[in-house]
């Protein structure tokens, strides 16, 4: 197959881990007879520095025409003084909205080599394997009005959804659950929000179409508790944008494997943007210390979700698992024995596997 | 001193723990020469059953005239089928708003007898002692519009604040920090929300008045992570209503002491409503199995915050600590050795101390 992939390295260690992704994908293409073409574009702080905006038009154009997009990381102290609208994160929010990437998939799995680095007790966290499906282009993030009153004495943000937006993300939740352990937890705040009450109705409607999936409703405060007390009880969580932001970050630290977590942001036609959950880590940028595994696992998500290359994706996931099993790790992973590798050497190991 | 206290037992174990609170306060009054008068009113499911509404006018009137209000717990499966506006929780939201209880104080402390019941590793959670100051009468909970579009294809909730509302809760945060370890973490989502940007500005302004308090800003997603990875790093967290709802419930399970956590909801003049963080536990209601300690500790918060009776409050807190030290506990606390007491016997023990 021929696929065109846009690479957005972004800032900090984004550049290094993107190199790892590209090398991995080149190896996959070669061994499986695919042709992947790559095109690099600017986003975030790097784009601010070169073009004066976190999301240049060329980037949106190129990403819009690609079969998939890979993103490294954006942001850093260098741009922290800028006013809201000009900051690196705006590039991220902008590309999600402009490409229509409505579904953010964040799997959280415990790698047994790293469970000891979890803040949770081993018996609480082991067997955790959950997926958060977060709505990504609606809600408080994009609702209008979002402004101060004219006299500056008040302020308003708007949590806004169309029924269609709720329907498509709820369906994504059911579809994801169907491919996993068939348990869906829909998280809302239906005892307070009207949007949550519509959300609950939509879930009740859609569940008729998915009789094989068991579905429960949970309030967001209860979900925030249960993620800590019993994360292994969850399979798929589906929720709106802001709740998803909070819960997916909470979930990301449970297993001690933050440096290994990939994510996907999907459009209705399956085109997607894939990125590691970790940030741009400016403190170690350029030192070949970055952990490329979350980025590499993001390419596996890309192969699976955007290119239907299940087998190739599995190979990458297995290779990562085997490299960890063999005792290799990067400096960020608090593994007590084994061999510490730099970003490049780790990438080579994975490719060898 | 003469004080008039309105008691709202509510539902489930609310009734039993309220009895415990009253007995405790009667003992405090007797030993310290105070006169406390009590008046019982209906709220929640109990009010729905007797009056057809979760918050009867008499309750609001009585609470409005009291020096302080104690609340047990509201809700239960019996009322789960009711439509949103008629459910027990509406009583809670209504009384907060009608009494102007804008500041919710939720301390989270680890009792060493219970740390082993924490989902977190001992070394992560020990020394945790934090206070969440949550805005309680604004934001998404009460902003308008909150409705569907006429054709039913869309829905909107409104996150609304006046600058004054932000100022008074931020000041409460600084005041609380000043009485503790003088570290304030202001939690917002300033990279997305305009209300958060105003919030940040207000914090920056107010900090001039509190040079003794160290203040930091943290994004809500980062705070949700850090509560799990390093809860001991926090002293006081101040945040808006919905973020506070999620973070305070997340925080409440960290130390394994949910059955011991009190809370206060304060009005500007110091009148307050005090309630345990736990729910109505309908499954054990009426069996003398409820843990009265969170309710009893809520009375201590009342004595301190609404009546300026620091000494009396300390006595209660010490008594609870001593009873735990002596190996007594209730069935909900997973203490492996020691003596299990019922609700009444536990209350007696605390009073004896
Ligand atoms: C950078 C920020 C705007 C973004 C968000 O809140 O969506 C980030 O936290 C994320 O989760 O990808
Ligand atoms: C019952 C519910 C409306 C309430 C809230 O969200 O405020 C509860 O969760 C709380 O925190 O007291």
Q: Which domains can be identified in chain B, with CATH numbers?
A: 1-118+257-353 (3.40.718.10), 121-254 (3.40.718.10)
* Per-position DSSP letters for A42-103, written without gaps between them: --HHHHHHHHSSSS-HHHHHHHHHSSEEEEEE---GGGTTS-GGGSHHHHHHHHHHHHT--E
Cβ(A280)–Cβ(A11) under 8 Å? yes
Cβ(A155)–Cβ(B195) under 8 Å? yes
Option in B124, B153, B250 nearest A119 (CB): B124
d(C-alpha B165, C-alpha A154), whole Å: 9
Look up A141 and say whether it is catalytic.
yes
Residue corresponding to tokens 């717990």:
B73
Query: At residue B73, what are phi and psi to the nearest 5 degrees?
Result: -165, 155
Burial of B182 (0-12, 13-18, 19+ CB in 10 A): middle
d(C-alpha B50, C-alpha B62), whole Å: 17
pLDDT of residue B28: 97
Option in B155, B191, B254 nearest A84 (CB): B191
Cβ(B98)–Cβ(B58) under 8 Å? no
Q: Is the sign of the CA dihedral A10, A13, A18, A21 positive or negative? A: negative
Which chain A positions have a beta carbon within 8 Å of B200's beta carbon? none
Q: Could you report how far apart the first and last alpha carbons of chain B are, in Å?
A: 23
Angle at B269 between CA B86 and CA B16, to 5 degrees: 50
Ligand with an atom nearest the CA of residue A248: 1
Per-residue pLDDT of chain A (353 residues; tens, 9 = 90+): 999 999 999 999 999 999 999 999 999 999 999 999 999 999 999 999 999 999 999 999 999 999 999 999 999 999 988 887 788 999 999 999 999 999 999 999 988 888 989 999 999 999 999 999 999 999 999 999 999 999 999 999 999 999 999 999 999 999 999 999 999 999 999 999 999 999 999 999 999 999 999 999 999 999 999 999 999 999 999 999 999 999 999 999 999 988 899 999 999 999 999 999 999 999 999 999 999 999 999 999 999 999 999 999 999 999 999 999 999 999 888 777 789 999 999 999 999 98
d(C-alpha A142, C-alpha A165), whole Å: 13
Which chain B positions have a beta carbon within 8 Å of A170's beta carbon? none
CA–CA distances in Å: residue A102 to residues A162, A250, A345, B143: 13, 21, 35, 26
d(C-alpha A143, C-alpha A161), whole Å: 8
Option in B120, B220, B253 nearest A225 (CB): B253
Ligand with an atom nearest the CA of residue B241: 2
Nearest CA in chain A to B147: A194
DSSP state, residue A4: E
Closest CA to A119 of A246, A255, A258: A255
Closest CA to B103 of B277, B306, B264: B264
Which residue is closest in CA terms to ligand 1's atom 6? A245
d(C-alpha A325, C-alpha A301), whole Å: 21
Cβ(B342)–Cβ(B330) under 8 Å? yes
pLDDT of residue B33: 97
Cβ(B15)–Cβ(B49) under 8 Å? no
Which chain B positions have a beta carbon within 8 Å of A132's beta carbon? none
Substitution target from A85, A128, A159 for chain B, most B beta carbons within 10 A? A159
**Candidate list A97, A109, A182, A189, residue with the active-site label:** A189
What pLDDT digit, counting tens, does each position of B133-149 carry? 999 999 999 999 999 99
Distance from CA of B185 to the nearest CA of A (A): 17
Substitution target from A85, A154, A332 for chain B, most B beta carbons within 10 A? A154
Cβ(B248)–Cβ(B258) under 8 Å? no
Cβ(A94)–Cβ(A260) under 8 Å? no
Per-residue pLDDT of chain B (353 residues; tens, 9 = 90+): 999 999 999 999 999 999 999 999 999 999 999 999 999 999 999 999 999 999 999 999 999 999 999 999 999 999 988 887 788 999 999 999 999 999 999 999 988 888 989 999 999 999 999 999 999 999 999 999 999 999 999 999 999 999 999 999 999 999 999 999 999 999 999 999 999 999 999 999 999 999 999 999 999 999 999 999 999 999 999 999 999 999 999 999 999 988 899 999 999 999 999 999 999 999 999 999 999 999 999 999 999 999 999 999 999 999 999 999 999 999 888 777 789 999 999 999 999 98
Q: How far is the CA of A245 from the centre of ligand 1 (A)?
A: 7
Say yes or no for a CB contact (<8 Å) between A246 and B224: yes
d(C-alpha B302, C-alpha B67), whole Å: 10
Query: At residue A253, what are phi and psi to the nearest 5 degrees?
Result: -95, 0
Buried b (16+ CB within 10 A) or exposed e, A158-179: bbbbebebbbbbbbbbbebbee
Ligand with an atom nearest the CA of residue B10: 2
Q: Could you report how far apart the first and last alpha carbons of chain A are, in Å?
A: 23
Closest CA to A54 of B219, B194, B220, B191: B191
Say yes or no for a CB contact (<8 Å) between A157 and B245: no
**Within 13 Å, how many C-alpha atoms sit on residue B117's CB side?**
20
- pTM above 0.95? yes
pLDDT of residue B318: 97
d(C-alpha B263, C-alpha B168), whole Å: 19
Q: Dig out the tokens for A320 from the structure.
A: 């990562």
Q: Is the sign of the CA dihedral B108, B109, B110, B113 positive or negative? A: negative
* Binding-site residue positions of B for NAD(+): 76-89, 279-291
Q: Dig out the tokens for B217 from the structure.
A: 């800003």
Residues 6+ apart with CB under 8 A from B278: B73, B258, B259, B261, B291, B294
Residues in the ligand 1 pocket, defined by CB under 6 Å: A 89, 92-93, 245; B 191-192, 221
Closest CA to A213 of A238, A245, A230, A188: A238
pLDDT of residue A54: 96
Which residue is closest in CA terms to ligand 1's atom 1? A89
pLDDT of residue B86: 86
pLDDT of residue A64: 96
Look up A189 and say whether it is catalytic.
yes
């Amino acid at each position: 197959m021929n696929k065109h992939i846009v690479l957005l390295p972004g800032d900090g260690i984004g550049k290094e881990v993107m190199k790892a992704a590209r090398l991995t994908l080149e190896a996959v293409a070669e061994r499986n007879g695919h042709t992947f073409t790559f095109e690099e574009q600017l986003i975030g702080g790097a784009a601010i520095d070169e073009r004066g905006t976190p999301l240049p038009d060329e980037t949106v154009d190129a990403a819009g025409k690609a079969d998939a997009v890979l993103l490294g990381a954006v942001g850093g102290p260098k741009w922290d003084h800028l006013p809201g609208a000009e900051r690196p994160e705006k590039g991220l929010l902008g590309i999600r909205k402009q490409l229509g990437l409505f579904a953010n998939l964040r799997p959280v799995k415990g790698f047994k080599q790293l469970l000891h680095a979890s803040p949770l007790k081993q018996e609480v966290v082991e067997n955790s394997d959950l997926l958060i499906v977060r709505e990504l282009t609606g809600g408080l993030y994009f609702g209008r009005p979002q402004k101060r009153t004219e006299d500056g004495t008040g302020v308003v943000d708007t949590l806004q959804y169309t029924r269609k937006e709720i329907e498509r993300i709820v369906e994504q939740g059911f579809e994801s659950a169907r491919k996993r352990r068939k348990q869906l937890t829909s998280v809302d705040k239906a005892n307070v929000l009207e949007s949550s009450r519509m959300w609950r109705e939509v879930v009740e409607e859609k569940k008729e179409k998915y009789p094989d999936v068991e579905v429960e409703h949970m309030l967001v405060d209860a979900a925030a508790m249960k993620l800590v007390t019993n994360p292994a009880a969850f399979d798929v969580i589906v929720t709106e944008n802001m709740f998803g932001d909070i819960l997916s970050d909470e979930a990301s630290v449970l297993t001690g494997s933050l440096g290994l977590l990939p994510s996907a942001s999907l459009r209705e036609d399956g085109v997607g943007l894939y990125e590691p959950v970790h940030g741009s880590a400016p403190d170690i940028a350029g030192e070949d210390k970055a952990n490329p595994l979350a980025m590499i696992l993001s390419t596996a998500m890309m192969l699976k979700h955007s290119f239907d290359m299940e087998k190739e994706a599995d190979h990458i996931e297995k290779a990562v698992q085997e490299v960890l099993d063999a005792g290799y790790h990067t400096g960020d992973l608090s593994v007590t024995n084994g061999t510490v590798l730099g970003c490049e050497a780790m990438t080579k190991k994975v490719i060898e596997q």
